[in-house]
Structure 1
Amino acid sequence: MTNILIIEDEQPAGEYLQSLIQQIMPEAKILDILESVEQSVQWLTSHPAPDLIFSDVQLGDGTCFDVFEQTTVRCPIIFTTAHDEYAINAFKLNSVDYLLKPIKSTALHQSLDKYQQTSGEGLKGKMESLEEIIRSQMLSGKTTRRNFLVPYRDKLIPIRDEEFAWFKIENGIVDGRLTDGRNYAIDKSLEELEKMLNPDDFFRASRQFIVARRSIREIEFYFNGRLLIRVDPVSKKPILISKERVPMFKKWFEES
């Protein structure tokens, strides 16, 4: 029996992948479907290692590489990704298999066949080189948006990206707070904004917040290894960096 772990932040996609795997490999056991970096780190540090991991690259609170930086993973990994063909070639060159979304049954079958012949030796080196390539692809292929047209009553308000202090989602509504204190409802999800904004200037602090570097005034140590971010203008809701994302936040703040 093959024990398989799935890391996928979209529940329907995770369940679909699970059903495909079980059709092709009935003897496989799906141990769990994890939706975030935080969940994945907790699971991998508290359970016996799986035989195989299927992992999406981009997760809601970071990337799969954040998981692998904080845990020891020696089993083969099959990535599921929506990256373009240039990035896909990078996967091939690094001898780590991939599945391009939307996942097809025939492609999954080929990946599982390849898994049967995969050795865990040298996986760490492959992961490190793959991470470097994927991160560079995410940045180099990304067109950041500097200007936004924000609907307000019967108008469209032009706003530059540097005018935003932070973005927040609450009750399904995304708000953008400007450095002068004004607040506008944004007709985009945080995931969409994260892809549009310059990653040197903005950080996905949590599932609820994206913060601009220029808005950060203080950083406090918080319970359970977390950080509390104090911003200007002030947010009524606390902006917390999870213990697992603290190293990434520090690196972003100090090096970008």
Structure 2
Amino acid sequence: MRVLIIEDEQMAANHLTALLRDIEPSLTVLGILDSVDDGRLQWPHLPTPDLIFSDIQLADGLSFSLLEQVPVPCPIIFTTAYDDYAIRAFKLNSIDYLLKPIEAEALAASLHKYRSLARPATTDLVRQMQTLLSSQAFLTQTYRQSFLIQFRDKLLPIKVSDIAYFSIEGGVVSATLVNRVTDHRVTDHRVTVQPISYPIDLKLEELETQLDPQQFFRANRQFVVSRNSIREAELYFNGRLQLKLQPEPTTPVLISKDRAPQFKKWMEAF
């Protein structure tokens, strides 16, 4: 059996590898991908695995954003410290969902499940179930519609539709509102508009799973942007794109060369 591991924590990757080899000594680990960007670069050059073990929360985003873009030729067993992503996981080629820390008994059961599902008699059934999940025939995905933000001595209800983008700076995630300003400041005889931003006690990775992907896009490690905030995208150096947002952020919003095709497809899709 040939296995590919997607995991950004080296100790967790080593632990999983050791357990797999204890259970099945003939198993071969084809490689370990530690980020979404690394996966995009390495995927075309990797041998075809029989099975993928994938963590969900990686350093630069969710593994879903990788696995939804690349051809996945085999089943996936997701490994994570959280149980919030089970439904989304099974919309992909997932056959199991292991919570960390992974125990040998649970891992052995997952491998047994993989072998049983690989039999011809059950392959069609698994494919039909995945099709149903992907088409949401009996499941309606709901996304966050508002936030209750604590700011100073107040609790502020903020609609998601009023948010232009989420950003992180100095470890603090903030939501910047659409077309709202605090004041106009005069600097070097120029008037600048200061947009309203509120800190949010969530990670950008968590926001990705809660926001409607038709309306919000993860531009890079610092920004999740709303479709309605994008005025235009300019060609930038080395195949990158620079987004012009309203209101304008204090730092440039750049999309990497690798993510640019996905962004264009997203903009055209809806």
Q: TM-score range by the shorter chain?
A: 0.7 to 0.9
1:154 positional shift = 2.1
1:219 aligns with 2:233: yes
CA distance in 2, matches of 1:4, 1:151: 45
Contact in 2 for aligned 1:61/1:206 (Cα 8 Å): no
1:251 aligns with 2:248: no
Matches within 5 A, 1:157-176: 157-176=156-175
Measured in 2, the distance between the counterparts of 1:178 and 1:16 equals 44
Report the count of equivalent residues. Answer: 244
Alpha-carbon deviations, 1:73-120, whole Å to 9, x = none? Answer: 54x3333164677778877xx8x6323434543342133345557489
How far, CA to CA, are the matches of 1:218 and 1:52 in structure 2?
41
- For 1:207, which of 215, 218, 221 is the aligned residue? 221
Q: Which of residues 76, 95, 98 is equivalent to 2:96?
A: 98
Q: Hey, what's the Cα distance between the residues in 1 that align with 2:67 and 2:163?
A: 29
Q: Displacement, 1:161? A: 1.4
Is this contact kept in 1: 2:30–2:47, CA < 8 A?
no
Q: Do residues 236 (structure 1) and 250 (structure 2) align? A: yes
Unaligned runs of 5+ in 1: none
Give the conservation status (yes or no) of the 8 Å contact 1:4–1:50.
yes
Question: CA shift at 1:232, angstroms?
Answer: 1.3
Paired position in structure 2 for 1:77? 75
The structure carrying a bigger strand percent of its residues is 2
Determine helix, strand or coil for the equivalent of 1:140. coil
Gaps of 5+ in 2: 181-194
Q: Which residue of 2 aligns with 1:44?
A: 43
Seen in structure 2, the aligned counterparts of structure 1 residues 84 and 50 have a Cα distance that, compared at 3 Å, is closer
Q: Give 1:165 deviation, angstroms.
A: 1.0
Once the two structures are TM-superposed, the CA of residue 218 in structure 1 deviates from its matched residue by 1.0
Counterparts in 2 of 1:64-213, with a 5 A limit?
Answer: 64=64, 66-67=66-67, 69-71=69-71, 74=73, 76-80=74-78, 82=83, 97-102=95-100, 103-113=102-112, 115=114, 118=118, 130=130, 133-134=133-134, 136=136, 140-142=140-142, 144-179=143-178, 180=180, 181-213=195-227
Aligned CA RMSD, in angstroms, stands at: 3.7
SS at match of 1:234: coil
Instruction: Indicate how the Cα distance of structure 1 residues 70 and 106 shifts in structure 2: closer, same or farther if over 3 A, else same.
Output: same
Letter in 2 for 1:242: S
What TM-score, normalized by structure 1, do the two folds share?
0.74
CA distance 1:22–1:5, shift in 2 (3 Å): same
Structure (1 or 2) with the larger CA radius of gyration = 2
Contact 1:3 1:52 (C-alpha < 8 Å) held by counterparts: yes
Q: Deviation at 1:213?
A: 0.9
Q: Is the 1:55–1:79 Cα contact (8 Å) retained in structure 2?
A: yes
Give the number of the structure with larger relative contact order, counting CA–CA contacts within 8 Å between residues 6 or more apart.
1
Cα deviation, 1:140-181, whole Å, max 9, x if unaligned, reads 233x22222222222222322122111111232111111221
TM-score when normalising by structure 2: 0.71
Percent sequence identity over aligned pairs: 41
- CA separation of 1:136 and 1:236: change in aligned 2, threshold 3 A: farther
Which structure 2 residues correspond to residues 25-36 of structure 1 after superposition, within 5 A? 25-36=24-35
CA distance in 2, matches of 1:119, 1:226: 45
Asked if the contact 1:150/1:184 (under 8 Å) is kept, the reply is yes
State the shift of 1:43 in Å.
1.5
Q: Give the direction of change, closer, same or farther, for the CA distance of 1:253–1:12 in structure 2 (3 Å limit).
A: farther
Higher helix share: 1
Shift in CA distance, 133/48, structure 1 to aligned 2, threshold 3 Å: same
